[in-house]
Structure 1
Amino acid sequence: MRLSILVPFATFIACAAAAQSPPPLFDDADDGGVERAPDTALGRTVASGGAQQGGVGMKCMACHGLDDAGAGLGEMPGLAGLPAEYIEAQLQAFMAGERFSPIMVPIATQLTEEERLAVADYYASVAPKLSKFDHGAPTDVVQQGGALAASGSDSVPACNQCHGGSDTSGAAIPRLAGQSAQYIADQLVAWQNGGRANGPLNVMEDIAKSLSDEEIRAVALYYQQTPPDAE
């Protein structure tokens, strides 16, 4: 079922799932616990279409942006400013069959481990951007979404407890501020219908199933219009 975030109660197309456990950023066996040095230059090359396999045919920037245009494209998430651990965990999940996307599964599978780590480091190094999409949503709807994000309701906790920014987001919990409303709404419906089923402790499945279509639309529109640096 696809829910249009600007026209209530239309049909929804669900997107894929997030990873449950991130891969380590430290390799004790090889380097004695020394932190891995980010290779953002290689990551930018991969994002621009320079992977060893696939190349231009699987350039990340086509859907997820590059540098100062890293805000994503509607149903595709903006990756700029997300934790490297989170991005790498999602690529691992596509490879492991824990998330499904006809676009992302072959891309994640063709990237080398070095390229996956590097592209995650690259996007983590880019300042997050506000979604470029419609910011003219009804004020009352945005306010309803803001109330859910800040305080929750009788059936769901406050979204900002986990998604409120760099102090709360992490390897399994992405920042939502600045993402497109369509992407956020798609993911909540995917949690509802089992399209995403591998989150930590089933928290998001339970929360999403407690949200109405109206609440999904409201909270998605609220986060779309919230600048990433305001969270």
Structure 2
Amino acid sequence: MNAPRRLAVLIFALALGACSPQKAEPLKAKAPAGPPPALAWAYPDAPEAPLPDYPPGPQHLPGIDRVVSSAELNDPAHPVDWTPDRHPAPPAVVGHRRPGGPAPCAECHFYNGVGFVGAADLAGLPAGYITQQLAEFRSGRRVSSQRANRPDTEEMIAVAKGLTEAEAAQAAAYYASLPRRPFVRVVETDVAPAARANHWGWQELIPDAPPQPLNGGVVEVAEDWPRMLLRDPRTGVVAYVPRGAIARGEALVRTGGPAAQPCASCHGADLKGREGVPPLAGRSPAYLVRMLWDIKSGARSGPAVAQMLVPVSDLTPAQIIDIAAYLGSRTP
């Protein structure tokens, strides 16, 4: 399958980890508990279907002085880099698939680390945390709470197993060097544009369909789907969350919720991370929900999540949504 039809959401590392991951003992993964009905939207189960074809002929994006051919857009071994002058020179593993090697990182995370809708935001994550998470994927200590592993998780496990140690270190150092930028717009509402699940885990708008009630969930879609499909690194996502979620989430984050362990105690007062602890502010709410539940359910284990087990243990699905909404609304 070619790049625009795969666009697999390669989940690398997300900042839900640890205060001192190096000192924690590795934990063995257990059989995870599947997501509850209230979080089913975060684990969409849909058959694989092709994405729309690119418009015929050469393509360009507003404000970028470059023309890209359809052959370039359809080359999964060499993801298009629309803005090579706006980031450091990437290592080969980020932008090219070596013979017999795994998918290049930029296929889903782009060259700026933000990536396709639903993908993990890698920009500015500590390099050690990224390499640690690659090791967790390889070891089987990081899977999905979905009954059968999500396709994107299976893809990431395969990528992690296909990387050499040098490639993993190079990719981690590259993405750690990139600045973080706002790419999530959180909107509180009772209804949201109608959306359907994609096989790879993200949501797509349903053209001409009436708005749908949120019913306590989250609808997260690309701000501009045609530009996202063309792999525009400047576009982002909009997350529709329940009314009042941001304020409720702020209270939970500040107090620590049932466990009384405030997020700032490890992730910094501004939730932008510190030392080896990854940032939380400005991340995708849908992705945060999955990671919190995956930790709670046992799908994520190992030293990087050891300190998270107590904080998430008594969180309800509604509280997880509220926390994710608040964190997503913060400036990265």
Out of 168, 173, 181, the position equivalent to 2:274 is 168
Larger radius of gyration: 2
Matched, 1:122 2:167: no
Corresponding residue pairs, total: 192
- Give the C-alpha shift of residue 10 in structure 1: 4.2
Matched, 1:9 2:38: yes
Out of 138, 152, 160, the position equivalent to 2:256 is 152
Provide the rounded CA distance (Å) in 1 between the counterparts of 2:290 and 2:125: 19
Provide the rounded CA distance (Å) in 2 between the counterparts of 1:10 and 1:124: 30
Provide the rounded CA distance (Å) in 2 between the counterparts of 1:72 and 1:81: 13
Provide the rounded CA distance (Å) in 2 between the counterparts of 1:151 and 1:219: 11
Structure 2 counterpart of 1:104, one-letter code: M
List runs of 5+ in structure 2 lacking aligned partners.
1-33, 45-87, 144-152, 185-235
- Give the C-alpha shift of residue 166 in structure 1: 5.2
Task: Calculate the aligned-residue CA RMSD, in Å.
Answer: 2.6
List structure 1 runs of 4+ shifted beyond 4 angstroms: none
Structure 1 counterpart of 2:43, one-letter code: I
Question: Is the 8 Å Cα contact of residues 52 and 111 (structure 1) preserved in structure 2?
Answer: no
Higher helix proportion = 1
* 2:150 counterpart residue number: none
* 1:19 counterpart residue number: none
TM-score for both structures, normalised by structure 1? 0.72
- Give the C-alpha shift of residue 117 in structure 1: 0.6
Structure 2 counterparts to residues 1-231 of structure 1, below 5 A: 1-2=34-35, 9-11=38-40, 12-13=42-43, 41=89, 43=91, 45-51=92-98, 53-54=100-101, 58-67=103-112, 70-100=113-143, 101-130=153-182, 131=184, 132-138=236-242, 140-164=244-268, 165=271, 168=274, 170=276, 173-200=277-304, 202-228=306-332
Percent identity between matched residues is 30
* 1:29 counterpart residue number: none
Aligned partner of residue 103 in structure 1, secondary structure: helix
Higher strand proportion = 2
List runs of 5+ in structure 1 lacking aligned partners.
15-39
- Give the C-alpha shift of residue 174 in structure 1: 2.2
TM-score for both structures, normalised by structure 2? 0.52
Structure 2 counterpart of 1:149, one-letter code: V
Aligned partner of residue 102 in structure 1, secondary structure: helix
Residues 125-134 or 107-116, more deviating: 125-134
Question: Is the 8 Å Cα contact of residues 94 and 171 (structure 2) preserved in structure 1?
Answer: yes
